[in-house]
Each structure stands twice: as structure tokens, then as C-alpha cells.
Structure 1
Amino acid sequence: MPKLDISLQEEQKAFDIEVVAIENQWSSSRQSHLKRPYSARTIAALRTSIHTQSSTSSTQAVKLWNQLNSHNKNGTCELTFGTTDPVAVSQMAKHQQTVYVSGALCGFSEVAIPGMDHADYPWDTVPKVVSKIVKSQLWHDQRQRQFRLRHPIEQRGGLENWDYLAPIVADGDMGFGSMTSAMKMTREFVEAGVAMIHIDDLAIGMKKFTIGQGRTIVPTSEYLDRLTAVRMAFDIMGAETLLLCRCDTDHSEFITSVVDKRDHEYVLGATKSIEPLQEYLQKAQEDGKDLKAARNEWKEKAGLATFDEAVKAVASDTEYKAYTSELSKLELPSLSTRRGLAAKTVKQEVFFDWELPRSSMGQYMFQSCVKAVVERAIAAAPLGDVTWARMDSPVWKDIVEFHSKVREVYPERLFAFGYTGDYDYGKAGFSDKQVKTLHLDLANIGVVWQVQPIWSLQGLNLVTEQFGKLWAEEGIAGYLRTVQGPALSTRPMTDGFEKLSYCGGYLADAFFETVAGEEIVEKGQAKDFKRH
């Protein structure tokens, strides 16, 4: 292998130039709000000699950044939905500014073995779907551009001109493993052309459904490490790609570890001396009892509470006031610090054991609340561009509290919001009028990007089932009446194979014409051209 022939001075000069370029990028209007725990010099040293290309991702990211900030300025929002189908994406261009690629959707339709959303599909699944969609977007942009430019300028005003290059927002789940796994996934996303990805604080391998238990989150420190790894990967590639910090703490029931004292306030413990939960469940199983009922029975006997709640339960009003007064003077007090304060201010011993409720997988029980979600979102904000608090059962007062509290610290913060497919808004107290204006009300508090993630499951399945029934009952007559007839009679014609400007017929001809030496304009408009 030949040795590089470069002087040390030239090497250092090139490095210093790159450091300055990185610092300039970080101080731009696009990135100046970000705060990194590392320096530009560190990132410059982590780069390869030949820079990885991230042009499509960066272009789309800046486009999305401008769109979201425009919505924020005007009090409006982007309403989009989830799909993995490039054909559907081509129609979204007429109404949506962005496209969402959900991990759950990919897990149903884009993997060898489909399944429920456990985020257990290969880590490169979603980036591959993004790549597929981006390529289709570029093709639609190309065939539309060629079709328009084959017409004289005076005719183009009447031709379709859709922005097929809608920025893609994609699901990065929890990073699919270690820091290096998250970095590799991030690189794949950037090379695929994504505009923004979201990373959440859920525990890998612990997404459970239908068993009466809530989600499991990781410690705040682990969540921040994930986000930092993704941000670092963006920076190494020199990408402008946006990072959406999604916090799934709302309605979480477990946390994997108590290593971070920022989480101690919300960890639940037994306030009564009782056998460990796992021993209790083991006996229940041996006796043939229902484990879910046994678990709830144990929780009631244990008197589950946070440490502060345990103090309040045994302290007098004066003692508890003294305890909270001392507590307020401290920044991020750990459980041991809280125990020390309680020993000084409360006469009665406070029994609290957070080891007793631990699950069979070692998780600690966690008490979710808006305050906990706010604290995580604020801690994560400097690393990302947009914040999303996932609330599967949204309560309006909680939604308002969350966004207003975050904006007290970051007044210009941009937010995202996801609508679930089965939430009962009426049961939650929303009137029909409130549901109709919900997206506008959310926009007024900074929620500029709003998504219905699972349209491809609920919406497309509904339409397909309805057509399948019609086709089975009426055959071609039903198709002609409900699909082909209306599609061919619309003006302009509905996009489809029969519409050459949409299906790429003119573009295909243009390739042949160009190879043959012809000008790719309509016949009768070409200038005299002699092939050489």
C-alpha cells in the first residue's frame, strides 16, 4: 500500500480549514440552536478523507426546516400520514408537504417475517423504504420536469406542476441496539435521502401489547446518549438532517434502570414490607391463579408510591413542608439524598423499597406524569430540532401543559404530534367542534408537524376491503362504474397507467429520442437539428 505523500503542515492546514467549515455550519441559522457535548475539532478528526455524500438528505432537511418554521410563524401546521408505498406518495404530493415512514408500517409490509410493532425488524428496514420512496420521488420529479420543458413556455402555465420532492420524516425507533448500531442506522437514513428521523426513549426488546402492562423507558442518560450518537453521525457526514426527539414517557409503567438520579423522583417502591413481586407471582402461578389479577393484588398490598409520596403518607403537614422546603433547595436530588432529608425532617421512619416491585426482566416500576415528560423533553431539546411527546391517550390539559412548559425554556421550540387510530375523543371529553379544530388548536401552541401514522393499515385496508367486496359482487361492471369511468373522465385525468404524463411515457420516449439525436420537444416545435 503506497504511503501518502503529504507534508504535516499541509495535513494540519486541511484539518484546520475543515474545523472552521464545521464551526460555520454549526453557527448557521439552521443549526445555531443546537448544543453539542463535543467540539468541531473532534468531529473533523472523525471524518474520512473523502466526505460521505449527504446532499439529498441535507437539501430536503433544509426544505423541511423552512416549512416547519413558516408554519410556526403563521400558526399553521402540516398534516400528513404514514405510508410505505411510492404510488401513494405520488398522490400525497398534491396535498401534503411531507411524507411519514412508520416503523410499525414497515414491520407489517416490508420485512421477511411481518409482525406487531415490537421494533424487532432489521435495523436497515426503514432506511431501505425511505430510499425506495426517495428514488420514486426523484423519478416523478424528472418525468414531470421533462414533460413541462418539452412544451413552450407559454403553454406551461396550464400544465400540472406538483412538488413531488416532499421531505420524508422516518421512524428511527430506539436506535436498534448500541451506540454504533444507532450510528450505522443514521448513516443509512442520510444516504437514503431522509429529511428528519425520530429517536425515542423506549427500551429495546420491551415493547409489549395486550397484556395489561405499559411501555418501558430507558434512563434519561441513556436516552440522551442515543440522541447524541445520532447527532454525532449527522455531523460526521456533514448533514443538515433534522433530529426529532420523541419522548414516550407518557403512560410508561417501567424503567430499565435507576442509574440516573434525574429519574429517581418517579420510580415506584413498596411502602409496606412484603415479599418481592416475582416471588408472589411465582406462587400464584403454582396455585393456578390469574397472573394479571395476582399482580394487581400485590401492588395494592405493597402500597406502591414514589419516595416523596411515601414521605407525605407518614409525615405531619409541618414535617412534609419542611421536607419539601429542603428538597427544593437541591438540584436533581437522588433517592439517597431524599432519604437523608426525610431522616432529618420526619420523625417516623419512611419505609420505601424500589427493588421489591421489579419485574422478571429487571425493570423498575415507574410513575409517569406530565412533569416527567417535560423534564426529559427539555433535557433532550439542545440535541434535536423538533420535540414530540407521544400521548396515545391525549388529554387536552396535559397536552397544553407539556407544550407550554417546554416553551417556557425554549420559546421557539417546534413540536410534532401523532394521532392514534383508535382513540375515543368523545369519551375523553372532546366535543365534535373541538375535534374539528384540534389540529388548529395544536398549531397555535407550536405543534407544526402532525401525523396520522397508520393510514396504510386502517385507511388503505378499509378502501381495499370495500373495493374487494364490490369487485367480487359486480365484476368489471362495478369497476367501470366506480373506478375506471370516474378516473378517465376527470380533468385533468386521474393519475394512472393511461395518463402518459404521469406513468412516464413521455420520459421513456425522450430517452430513445435523445439517443437518436432528436430534440426532446413536441413535434413541430423542434429547431432544425443535424446529427453529427
Structure 2
Amino acid sequence: MPKLDISVEEEQKAFEAEIAAIEKQWASPRQAHLKRPYTAPTIAALRPSLPSNSTSSTKQALKLWSQLHTHNKSGTCELTFGTTDPIIVSQRAKSQQTVYVSGALCGFSEVAIPGMDHADYPWDTVPKVVSKVYKSQLWHSARQRQFRLRHPVSQRGELENWDYMAPIIADGDMGFGSLTSTMKMAAEFVEAGVAMIHIDDLAIGMKKFTVGQGRTVVPTSEYLGRLTAARMQFDVMGSETLLLCRCDTDHAEFITSVVDERDHEYVLGATEKGVQELKKWLKSAQAEGKDLRKVREEWKEKAGLKTFDEAVQGVAEKEEYGAYTAEVAKHKFLSLSARREIAVKTVKKDVFFDWELPRSAMGQYMFKSCVKAVVERALVAAPLGDVTWARMDSPVWKDIVEFHTEVRKVYPDRLFAFGYTGDYDYAKAGYSAEQVKTVHLDLAKMGIVWQVQPIWSLQGLNMVTEQFGKMWAEEGIAGYLRNVQGPALSQTPMADGFEKLSYCGGYLADAFFETVAGESIAEKGKADNFKRH
């Protein structure tokens, strides 16, 4: 292997030039809002000798950045939905500005063994789907362009001209393990052509759906570590790829660890002495064949589950609690031990609080989620990302308003995302029919510029397919002619399909043969659209 023929002086000069280029990029209008815990020299030293392939992702990211800021300025929003299918993606260009690739959808349709939304598929699953979608966009863009250029300028105004290169936003879930896994995933996303990915604060492997237990989040420090790893990888690749900081803390019932004092305010503990550990209580109940859900709720009531501040309030006089909260308020974050010290000084009675007793069999601590907790996480994460998304379990309007208002008090120009889950009960949440009609516009006024229905393919596509399958089984070709083929062929312009050569790529396919044969791109009898040089 030959040695590199470069002097250390030249090496240092190139290194310093790289640092200057990084610092210039970080100071640009696109990135000036970001705050990194590392320096430009560190990133420059991490880069390989040849630049990474991030051109496509950068171009799409800048396009998305412009779109989102345009919406923010005008008080409007992008309404999109989740899919993994390139054919569906091709039709979205007519109504959506962006494409969303959901991890949950990928887990159902793009893996060897389908499964529920546990993010238990290989870490490169979603990047591969992004690559598939992005390449399909390139193909549609190419076949449309080639078809248009076959025609004289005078005729092109009548031809379809869709922007098939809609920026792709993709689900990075929890980062898939260690920080190096998160970095590898981020790199694959960039090389696939993604515009933005989101990383959340959920615990890997701890999603449960039917046993009456909520989600589990990781400590704030671990969440920030994931975001930092993704941001660092983007910087190493020199990409402009956007990072969406998604916070799933709303209605989370557990947290994996109490290592970060920023989370201590919301950890629940037993406030009644003499109760058995929850995991032992449940084990005994299981052996007796009891209903574990019911037994679990009984234990929580018996243990008097509260946060430490609530435990203090339960035993303190009004003046004592006022003195306690006044002292606590002097600090942005306080550990449990520091809160105990303040309680000893301000409250006469002992405060019993044990956050070990409610721990689950998997070791999780019980957690009391509230809007304040979600806001705090979003605020500390914001400097690492470009957009914020607080996943809400239900569309409680006052909570939605409180979260976005509080974040914007600190970051007035913050861009937000919002996801509509498939089972939102708007009537139960107090919305009128008229309010539901305008909810996306009302959200947009708060800076929620990107709004998504993540799993449309599971509801919408399943429903349409079921309806078509029933019709086809009952009526055969007659029903198909009436409901599909007839309307498609009579539509102006004709609905996209195999019969429409401009859509299925017939002209582009033939153009390859024509080009090899030396033929002109112009159709016979039409003016040549190219000048030979």
C-alpha cells in the first residue's frame, strides 16, 4: 500500500480549510440556530479523506427547510400521510409537498417477518425504503422531463408537470441501540436522499399495547445523546439534513433510569409505609390466577403513588409547603436528594417516599407525565434539531396549546410537527364538528407547519382494498369497468396507469433504445427541441 505523498504542512493546511468550511456552514441562515456540544475541529478530524455522498439529502433538506419556513410565515401547513409504496408516492405529488415513511408501516410491510410497532426490525429497514422511494421519485422526474422535451415549447404548457421530488421525512425511531447504531442509521438515511428524520425518547424494546401499561421513556440525557449522535453524523457528512426532535413523553408511564436529575421531579414513589414491592405483589397475584390489571391498580392506590413534591404537600402545613416550593423554584432542576434536603429544612413531619417499590419486573421506574415534563424535554433538545414534535396520545386542545406556547416563549421561531393518530376521538376530547374541520389551520397558527397522518396505509389503503376486493369478487370485470377502468380512461387527463405511456415510462424506455441508435429525442414530424453543438 503506497504512502500518501503529502507533507504535514499541506495536511494541516487542508485540515484548517476544512474547519473554516464547517464553521461557515454552521453560521449560515440554515444552521445558525443549532447549538452543538462539539467543535468544528473535532468534526473535521472525523471526516474521511473523500467526502461522503450527501448531495441529494442536502438538496432535499434545503427544499424542505424553505417549504416549512414559507408555511410558518404565512400561517399555513403541509398536510401529508405515511406510506412506503412508490406508486402511491407518485400520486402524492399532485397534492402533498412531502412524503412520510413511517417505521410502523415499514414493520408491517417491508420486513421478512412483520410485527407490531416495536421498532424491532433491522436498523437499516427504513433507510432502504427511503432509498426505494427516492429512486422512484428520480425515475418519475426523468420520464416526465423526457416526455415533455419530446414536444415543442409551444405544446409543453398543456402537458402535466408535477414536482415528483417531494422531500422525504423518515422515522428514525429510538436510534436502534448504541450511539454507533444511531450514527450508522443516520448515514444510511443521508445516502438514501432523506430530507429529515425524527428521533424519539422511547425506550427500545419496552413498548406494550394491551396489558394496561403505558410507554417507557429514557432519561433526558440518553435522549439528548441520540439526537447528538444523529446531528454529529450529519456534520461529519457535511449534510444539511434536518433533524426532527420527537418527544413521546406525553402519557408515558415509565422511565428506564433515574440517572438524570432533570427527570426526578416526575418520578413516582410509594408514600405509604409497609407496602410490598410491586413486582412481588404481582408475582403472587399471578400465581393465584388474579386479574393483574386490577391487582396492579389496587397496589398503586394502597401505596399512595405520588411524586416527591406531592408527597411533601401531603404532609406539610400550607405555610411549610409554600416555603418548600419557594426554595425549589430557585433552581431550574433539582435531584431527589436535593429536594429531600429542602424538605427537611422546611417541613416538620418526615416525608416518606420510595421510588424503588413501584419498579417493574423489567426495572422501570414509574413516571408521571404532564405537559410541563414534555416542554422541558423539548426545550433542552431544541438546540440540536430543526423541528419539534410532541407526540400526543389524545387531542386535548389545552395541552396542545400549552406545549407549543411554552416552547415558543423560549424559541419564538420554532417550527413544529404534529401527528394525527388513527384513533383520535375528537368528540370525546370536546371538539365540535366545525372545530375538527379547521383544526389543522388552528394548529398552523402556532407554528405547526408539518402535520401527518402516519399510518394512512393501514386504514385508508386497507379499507379501499377491502371494498374493491368485495366488488371484484361479486361483479368481476363488469364492476371493474364501471368503477375503475371506465372512469380512469375517460378522465382528462387520463388517470395514471399502464395504459398511459407518459406515466408508466413507455417513452423513456424507448428513448434508451433510440439514443443508442443515434435517433433524436424529438417525435417524428415535430420540431427538433435540441440544437446540436
Please indicate the TM-score interval, normalised by the length of the shorter structure.
over 0.9
Q: Which residue of 2 aligns with 1:428?
A: 429
* d(CA) in 1 for partners of 2:320, 2:188: 56
SS at match of 1:158: coil
Distance of 2:70 and 2:222 partners within structure 1: 33
Q: Give a deviation string over 1:42-80, Cα, whole Å, max 9, x none.
A: 000000000111011000000000000000000000000
Deviation at residue 144 of structure 1 after TM alignment: 0.4
Matched residue SS, 2:450: strand
Give the TM-score normalised by structure 2: 0.99
User: CA RMSD for the aligned pairs?
Assistant: 1.3
Partner of 1:82: 82
For residues 70 and 226 of structure 1, the distance between their equivalents in structure 2, rounded to whole angstroms, comes to: 29
Contact 1:102 1:453 in 2 (8 A): yes
Residue 322 of structure 2 is matched in structure 1 by 321
Equivalences for residues 82-481 of structure 1 within 5 A? 82-273=82-273, 274-481=275-482
1:37 and 1:330 mapped to 2: Cα distance?
A: 23
Shift of residue 457, structure 1, vs aligned partner = 0.6
Once the two structures are TM-superposed, the CA of residue 2 in structure 1 deviates from its matched residue by 1.1
Give 3-state SS (helix, strand or coil) of 2:157's partner. helix
In the alignment, is the contact (CA less than 8 A) between 1:267 and 1:364 conserved in 2?
yes
Distance 1:464 1:138 in 2: 28
Alignment of 1:20-99 (within 5 A): 20-99=20-99
Q: % of aligned pairs identical?
A: 78
Contact 1:35 1:383 in 2 (8 A): yes
Q: Counterpart of 2:72 in 1: which secondary structure? A: helix
Structure 1: any 5+ residue segments left out of the alignment? none
Moved more, 197-206 or 512-521: 512-521
SS in structure 2 opposite 1:372?
A: helix
**Cα gap change, 1:527/1:266 in structure 2, threshold over 3 Å: closer, same or farther?**
closer
The CA deviation at 1:402 is 0.1
What secondary structure sits across from 2:259 in the alignment? Answer: coil
Alpha-carbon distance in 1 for matches of 2:181, 2:375:
27
Q: Deviations over 1:236-295 (max 9, x none)?
A: 000000000000000000000000000000000000111111111111122221111111
Distance 1:528 1:224, change over 3 A: closer
The amino acid of 2:467's aligned partner reads Q
Q: Distance in 1 between matches of 2:528 and 2:242?
A: 46
Shift of 1:93: 0.3
Per-residue deviation, residues 471-500 of structure 1 (Å, max 9, x unmatched): 000000000000000000001000000001
Q: What amino acid is the match of 2:412?
A: P
| 1:421-473 CA distance string (max 9 Å, x none) | 11110111000000000000000000000000011110000000000000000
CA separation in 1, counterparts of 2:436 and 2:211?
Answer: 30
- Which amino acid is the alignment partner of residue 404 of structure 1? T
Alignment-derived partner of residue 523 in structure 2:
522
Q: Deviations over 1:285-331 (max 9, x none)?
A: 22221111111111000000000000000000000001011111123
CA–CA distance in 2 between the matches of 1:280 and 1:473? Answer: 56
Work out the number of aligned pairs and report it. 532
Give 3-state SS (helix, strand or coil) of 1:216's partner: strand
Task: Give the superposition deviation at 1:527.
Answer: 5.0
Whole-angstrom CA distance in 2 between matches of 1:510 and 1:278: 69
Rounded to whole Å, the distance in 1 between the matches of 2:363 and 2:163 is 50
2:152·2:529 contact (CA, 8 Å) conserved in 1? no
Amino acid at match of 1:481: R
Letter of the structure 1 residue corresponding to residue 485 of structure 2: Q
What is the CA distance between 1:525 and its match in structure 2?
A: 2.5
Alpha-carbon separation, structure 1, partners of 2:382 and 2:59: 23
Whether the aligned pair in 2 keeps the contact of 1:190 and 1:241 (CA below 8 Å) is yes
The C-alpha deviation readout for 1:333-388, integer Å capped at 9, x for no partner, is 11000000000000000000000000000000000000000000000000000000
Structure 2, unpaired ranges of 5+: none
In structure 1, distance between residues paired with 2:175 and 2:187: 12
Q: Does the 8 Å CA contact 1:201/1:249 hold for their aligned counterparts?
A: yes
Are the counterparts in 2 of residues 182 and 226 from structure 1 also a CA contact under 8 Å?
A: yes
Conserved in 2, the CA contact under 8 Å of 1:100 and 1:170?
A: yes
> CA 1:32/1:68 → structure 2, altered by over 3 Å: closer, same or farther?
same
Letter in 2 for 1:45: A
**Structure 2 Cα separation of the partners of residues 66 and 459 of structure 1:** 30
CA contact (8 A) 2:150 2:529 kept: no
Q: d(CA) in 2 for partners of 1:72 and 1:329?
A: 35
Report the alpha carbon displacement of residue 4 of structure 1 after superposing the two structures with TM.
1.1
Counterpart of 1:496 in structure 2 is 497
| Cα separation, 2, equivalents of 1:412 and 1:484 | 48
For 2:225 and 2:180, locate their aligned partners in 1 and report how far apart those are by CA, in whole Å. 11
Change (3 A) 1:108 1:470: same
The one-letter code sitting in structure 2 at the alignment partner of 1:300 is E
Task: Decide whether the 8 Å contact of 2:149 with 2:529 is kept in 1.
Answer: no
Paired amino acid for 1:48: P
The amino acid that maps onto 1:491 is T
Distance 1:37 1:67 in 2: 28
2-side partners of 1:286 and 1:169: how far apart? 47
Q: Distance in 2 between matches of 1:14 and 1:322?
A: 60
Q: 1:143 to 1:311 in 2, by over 3 A?
A: same
Deviations 1:167-192 (A, max 9, x none): 00000000000000000000000000
SS in 2 for 1:437: helix
Instruction: Report the CA distance between 1:528 and its aligned residue.
Output: 12
How big is the shift at 1:392?
Answer: 2.0
TM superposition score normalised by structure 1: 0.99
Secondary structure, counterpart of 2:119 in structure 1:
coil
Quote the Cα distance in structure 1 between the aligned partners of 2:300 and 2:336. Answer: 21
Letter in 2 for 1:229: A
User: 2 CA distance for matches of 1:528 and 1:311?
Assistant: 81
1:526 to partner: Cα distance: 5.0
Whichever residue aligns with residue 6 of structure 2, its letter is I
* Paired residues of 1:392 and 1:419 also in contact (CA < 8 A): no
SS of 1:122's partner is coil
